[in-house]
Amino acid sequence: MSRDVVGMWEVSLSDGIYQIEFEHGTTTGKRVIYINGKEVLRRDWMFKLVGKETFPVGSTGTKATINIEAITGFAYEYTLEINGKSLQSFLDNRSKISKTWLLKLDGADCRIVLEKDTMDVWCNGQRMETTGEFADDGTETHFAVGNHECCIKATSTGKRRNGIIHSLLVDGTRITDTME
């Protein structure tokens, strides 16, 4: 099966990393969107070759839009927006509002994400059941992954600009955070 993939993007969300592919048949007007290799939207015989396609991504239904614009006669430009922002500004903002740790637990890859605004914790695409408590130097959010005790500590730096540091401890050991 030959695919006319004209755009490919990788989007990191709390519940996982999504590979988005866009197929655009400029002779047939066909538009197909794949997420992680699975077809999620197909339109055949679109007479208008430019425009937008909006679709949900991930278990929380994050809004994604592919913009199709003509730049010259038969050349097109494809851009992806997430929640109404360009992919780059979405990802830049995401690094401010969330924190990610990648680690191995019991030999398996584990991706733990903290959403700083809601204090929701995700592990490999599942929202975790958590309990929060106050500690002397900040707050602790406790949860379990398998039979591992996990805790995200939020401690104040005493500075306003980068006020709170979040650190993950698994069975009492601090895990280094990851940039995505």
User: Where does a domain end: 59, 83, 107?
Assistant: 83
| Residue 105 shares a structural domain with residue 137 | yes
Report yes or no on 42 lying in a domain.
Answer: yes
User: Where does a domain end: 51, 83, 115?
Assistant: 83
| Residue 61 shares a structural domain with residue 119 | no
Q: Which 3 state secondary structure label does DSSP give 89?
A: helix
| Residue 54 shares a structural domain with residue 78 | yes
- Give the whole-angstrom CA distance, residue 63 versus residue 107: 34
Highest mean pLDDT among 2-11, 58-67, 149-158: 58-67
Mean model confidence pLDDT for the chain: 89
pLDDT in tens, 57-98: 999 899 999 999 988 877 889 999 999 999 999 988 888 889
| Residue 104 shares a structural domain with residue 146 | yes
**pLDDT of res. 149:** 96
Report yes or no on 27 lying in a domain.
Answer: yes
The 31-35 sheet, strands edge to edge: 5-13, 16-24, 31-35, 38-43
Q: What does R_g of the chain's alpha carbons equal in angstroms?
A: 20
**pLDDT of res. 160:** 67
Report yes or no on 180 lying in a domain.
Answer: no
Number of domains in the chain: 2
Q: How many C-beta atoms surround the C-beta of residue 15 within 10 A?
A: 19
Query: Which CATH number characterizes residue 113's domain?
Result: 2.40.128.180
| Residue 10 shares a structural domain with residue 73 | yes
Using 50, 70 and 90 to split pLDDT, how confident is the model at 103? very high
Which domain does 41 fall in, by range? 5-83
Q: Whole-structure pTM over 0.85, yes or no?
A: no
User: Where does a domain end: 83, 118, 144?
Assistant: 83
Q: Which long-range contacts (CB under 8 A, 24 or more apart) does 103-107 make?
A: 103/170, 103/175, 105/145, 105/146, 105/148, 105/170, 106/146, 106/148
| Residue 64 shares a structural domain with residue 104 | no
**Percent of the chain residues topping a pLDDT of 70:** 96
The residue ranking higher by pLDDT, 117 or 180, is 117
**pLDDT of res. 1:** 46
Average pLDDT over residues 41-45: 89
Using 50, 70 and 90 to split pLDDT, how confident is the model at 56? very high
User: Where do runs of H (alpha helix) occur along the chain?
Assistant: 87-97
